[in-house]
């Protein structure tokens, strides 16, 4: 999730134009809580407008790649 958090931060800044810690934190929290992509995209539309769909396509691709990695561990590390 650390790597995904960095990507989410960088991509959000790119699309929104500034660092929005609340938005970034909400995206990460929604992913960690298992919210579906459609719900996340609907939430993001108010902030990213037309950029929300491409953001989600790219994010989902990265998540699928991560899950197919042999080192993927779905359990949170404490």
Write out pLDDT tens, residues 39-69.
Answer: 999 999 999 999 999 999 999 998 888 778 7
Hey, is 1 helix, strand or coil?
coil
Contacts of 64 (CB under 8 A, 6+ apart): none
- Domain contains 76: no
Total domains present in the chain: 1
CATH number at residue 48: 1.20.1390.10
Give the structural domain span for 19: 2-67
- Domain contains 74: no
Q: pLDDT confidence of 78, banded at 50, 70, 90?
A: very low
pTM for the structure as a whole: 0.80
- Domain contains 78: no
3-state helix, strand, coil in the chain (%, to 5): 75, 0, 25
| Angle, helix 37-48 to helix 21-32, in steps of 10 degrees | 170
């Amino acid at each position: 999730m650390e790597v995904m958090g960095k990507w989410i931060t960088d991509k959000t800044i790119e699309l929104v134009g500034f660092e929005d810690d609340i938005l970034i934190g909400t995206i990460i929290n929604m992913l960690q809580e298992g919210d579906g992509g459609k719900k996340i995209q609907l939430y993001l539309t108010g902030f990213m407008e037309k950029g929300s769909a491409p953001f989600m396509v790219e994010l989902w691709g990265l998540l699928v790649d991560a899950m197919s990695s042999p080192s993927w561990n779905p359990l949170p590390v404490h």
